[in-house]
Structure 1
Amino acid sequence: MTSSTLSKNNAAQHLAAPFLTTVMQIEPQWIDYNGHLNMAYYNVLFDRGIDQMWLELGIGPQYMKERNGSTFTAEAHVRYLREVHLGDPVQVSVYLVAADEKRIHTFEELRHATEGWISATSENMTLHVDMNARKTAPFPPDIAARIREVAAAHAAVPRPDGIGRRIAMPVK
């Protein structure tokens, strides 16, 4: 395989819409007294999924070390839709919904990896932070271009149910 072919294949992987994580397993210590995944560990799985996507965008741990930039979650909305249990294989689908110079809006679905049903969703607003100043800052031009490219690819797929939902009591 030539480096040009490899580069094109790598670009296609970056543009996968939605981004799919590796299959993950529920860990025994994450099961609560109700016999299912404790609510806190849904967030661990979502965070691991985002970490995998951030690597693809070039904003993972190496980015922090080399360029002193990172991301902080500013807001999250998790919906718990169906229990997952010890032994269930899970996978996170990440949609890059929108982005601007300092923010990334994502929507994630935690799915049973073999049966395909959705267990939970998480919608997040993430801020880019200059770690030297510990303040929000624009993404560097190369990273911003990559984010725009992925956002455009993700805009071409149907939006999953639940984006933009708010917490409220049902109207009677």
Structure 2
Amino acid sequence: MLDRIDFEPVFFAPFVSSSMKVEGEWVDYNGHLNVAYYTLIFDRAADEALSLLGLGPEYARKRGGSFFTAETHVRYLRELPPDSPVRVALRLVDYDEKRLHIFQSLHHAREGWVSATSEQMALHVDLKSRRVVPFPDDVLERIATMRASHAALPPPEDLGRRVSMPARY
């Protein structure tokens, strides 16, 4: 993962993470990836993508800002067995001066099928005050560039889904 931004990043649509592997200790007694580790994989991919925006560990250390997750909706679509290679596709759906709306899909890296999706709202935070604050202009410019790249993609099919029981009619 990048520690600093000293170049103009290129934003692919969507961003695709580095390959990861379902580790043995992440597998539960059902023989598949435990629910907690889906979040870990999504988080690692988001860190990788958002580092391109200048929001990585170096930003937190030097500029005192970071992003916190305010809300997440994860859908589990297909089991991942031990040792499965995975990648995450991340799309910046929208943003404003303080927030990022992100949609991610977790794919089997060799076979391509989707195992899970995660929709997330992240907030830009001043680490000293622990308050939500606007992004600096240079970061906001990179966010706008990433969003313009991702805007060419069709909306994700599962975007904006809510948790509910089906109607009984």
| Letter paired with 1:101 | E
TM-score by length of 1: 0.92
**Mapping 1:9-24, distance limit 5 Å:** 11-12=9-10, 15-24=11-20
The alignment covers a number of residue pairs equal to 162
**Separation of aligned partners in 1, 2:129 and 2:62:** 15
Distance 2:155 2:166 in 1: 23
Q: Could you tell me which residue of structure 2 aligns to residue 132 of structure 1?
A: 128
Structure 2 equivalent of residue 63 of structure 1 = 59
Aligned-pair RMSD on alpha carbons?
Answer: 0.9
Which residue does the alignment assign to 2:142?
A: 146
Tell me how far apart the structure 2 counterparts of residues 72 and 171 of structure 1 sit (CA, whole Å): 34
Q: Does residue 114 in structure 1 map to residue 119 in structure 2?
A: no
Task: State the secondary structure of the residue aligned to 2:101.
Answer: strand
**If the length of structure 2 is used for normalisation, what is the TM-score?**
0.93
* Matched AA of 2:150: H
Q: Whose helix proportion is higher, 1 or 2? A: 1
**Does 2:49 align with 1:50?**
no
In structure 2, the gaps of 5 or more residues are 1-6
Runs of 4+, deviation exceeding 3 Å: none
Whether 1:83 and 2:95 are equivalent positions in the alignment is no
Deviations 1:69-93 (A, max 9, x none): 0000000000000000111100000
Tell me if 1:35 matches 2:31: yes
